[in-house]
Amino acid sequence: MTATARPPAWRATTLAALVSVLVAWVLLCPALQAQSAAGGSYFVPGEPKLGMRAFFDKGCARCHSVLGEGGRSAPDLARAPAGHLSSAELLAAMWNHAPSMWEKMRIESVSPPKFTEGDMANLFAFLYSVRSLDEPGDPARGRRLLEDKHCLQCHRTGATGGGSGPDLLKWASYRNPVSWVQAMWNHAPAMQSRMTARGVQWPLFEGNDVPDLIAYIRLLSPNASKPTYLRPADPQAGRRIFREKGCASCHAIGSNGGSGAPDLRSRTLPRTLGQFAAAMWNHAPGMRASMQAQNIPRPQFTNKEMADLIAYLFAERYFEPAGNVARGARLFDDKGCAACHRPGGIGPELSHVSFSPSRMAASLWNHGPVMFQSMQQQQITWPRFQPGEVVDLIEFLSSRTAPTRAKGGRR
């Protein structure tokens, strides 16, 4: 195995149980959590609920919010930065913005919080989880979408709209975009035929389109206040579904699976569970054609199966691809780390430390302010990292530690 093909050191602990992460903890009920812990079938790099506690207790919520909960003077971390964020990307974002955060804290006479590695793993789990949640929709936009996407040519909403499709108010109580997309997916072939016959273009949904539509349709129903939610999803079951429904025939996850369709660990895939489900809808005609060509039966999903499948795919995306030790070594020099973190340097030597994103983030907060101050005195610029660079750097640093490090801890 070459250095680049080898799983990253910080991932070694996770590969033993591939499926498992955060989304599970967003969605798994405590009973299932207990079962996981007892059975040991799940590996958890962090617990989102504890991460939320850290978010509020450590003072992050004084400035930042998540989906509107918390302070308003700094970005809502459920929305910013945009797009999918893996653990390494979370670390990179935190690292790059740390000096400005410390400066703001200094002005407001607030001491930077300290984190254990466990705290940070939990915080990462929380942020990753909460970023996967869909925001409540905008009904006004949903109303426009319903018209723009020509939904009412076939469907109706109460007394309005066409008669060939079912009344959308039937699903008004369903609050989860995944539930909607699941129903749409199952009926996609029939819908496609009718739309083709009528010359209606296949509607594509982006961003918060599906939650917006749901929000509008919900308002049309007098029984909207009796909601139907999706219950906790199970990524383990999702992995099984991925295999059994034949998804792996075309799709790959990393290096495993087919090559005829996009790699589902791709960073370009959407941020939220609902958006992910909508992407499945968008590609339904193409997938259908491809499956027909390959004589693969088109899978149908129950609500729960769809949720489990997407939870599994999200769990997979938490991790970055393996880093590169050689690139990491170059970065260590190029970014100026080696100037201090060397034998006899003013910073501690890092060769005995096993790193993961959460450990590195904890170190950032615990030692970063002093390090930043020292760098300012020496007029050294605070280094900034791209997410891939963080992975390489961690890979490099971890490669220098004793092999026993992989046994240490679960995070």
Residues that bind other proteins (CB under 8 A): 26-31, 49, 52-53, 56, 62-63, 66-67, 69, 71-73, 130, 133-136, 139, 174-179, 214-215, 218-222, 224-232, 274
CB of 80 to other proteins, least distance (A): 16
Cβ–Cβ < 8 Å for 13, 410: yes
CB of 231 to other proteins, least distance (A): 6
**What would the 3-class secondary structure string for 322-381 be?**
CCCHHHHHHHHHHCCHHHHCCCCCCCCCCCCCCCCHHHHHHHHHHHHHHHHHHHHHCCCC
Report the residue number, 222 or 286, with the smaller CB distance to other proteins: 222
Report the residue number, 31 or 293, with the smaller CB distance to other proteins: 31
Report the residue number, 67 or 326, with the smaller CB distance to other proteins: 67
Q: Tell me, what DSSP letter sits at residue 408?
A: S
Report the residue number, 164 or 228, with the smaller CB distance to other proteins: 228
Report the residue number, 53 or 330, with the smaller CB distance to other proteins: 53
- Give the whole-angstrom CA distance, residue 336 versus residue 349: 14
- Give the whole-angstrom CA distance, residue 406 versus residue 9: 7
Helix (H, G, I), strand (E, B) or coil at 53: helix
241, burial (CB in 10 Å: exposed 0-12, middle 13-18, buried 19+): buried
CB of 75 to other proteins, least distance (A): 13
- Give the whole-angstrom CA distance, residue 119 versus residue 180: 36
Number of C-beta neighbours around residue 243 at 10 A: 13
Closest listed residue to residue 284, CA positions, set 195, 353, 158: 195
Report the residue number, 69 or 167, with the smaller CB distance to other proteins: 69
CB of 246 to other proteins, least distance (A): 27
Give bridge partners of residue 252 from the DSSP assignment.
Answer: 257, 263
CB of 243 to other proteins, least distance (A): 25
Report the residue number, 136 or 203, with the smaller CB distance to other proteins: 136
CB of 147 to other proteins, least distance (A): 15
CB of 143 to other proteins, least distance (A): 10
Report the residue number, 178 or 350, with the smaller CB distance to other proteins: 178
Q: Is the dihedral of CA 201, 206, 211, 213 positive or negative?
A: negative
CB of 125 to other proteins, least distance (A): 13
Cβ–Cβ < 8 Å for 171, 182: no
For the record, the structure tokens of 113 come out as 């919080």
CB of 127 to other proteins, least distance (A): 12
Closest listed residue to residue 189, CA positions, set 299, 303, 277, 306: 299
End-to-end CA distance of the chain: 24
Report the residue number, 102 or 174, with the smaller CB distance to other proteins: 174
Report the residue number, 71 or 260, with the smaller CB distance to other proteins: 71
- Give the whole-angstrom CA distance, residue 372 versus residue 360: 15
For the record, the structure tokens of 51 come out as 């991460």
Helix (H) or strand (E) holding 176: none
207, burial (CB in 10 Å: exposed 0-12, middle 13-18, buried 19+): middle
CB of 287 to other proteins, least distance (A): 24
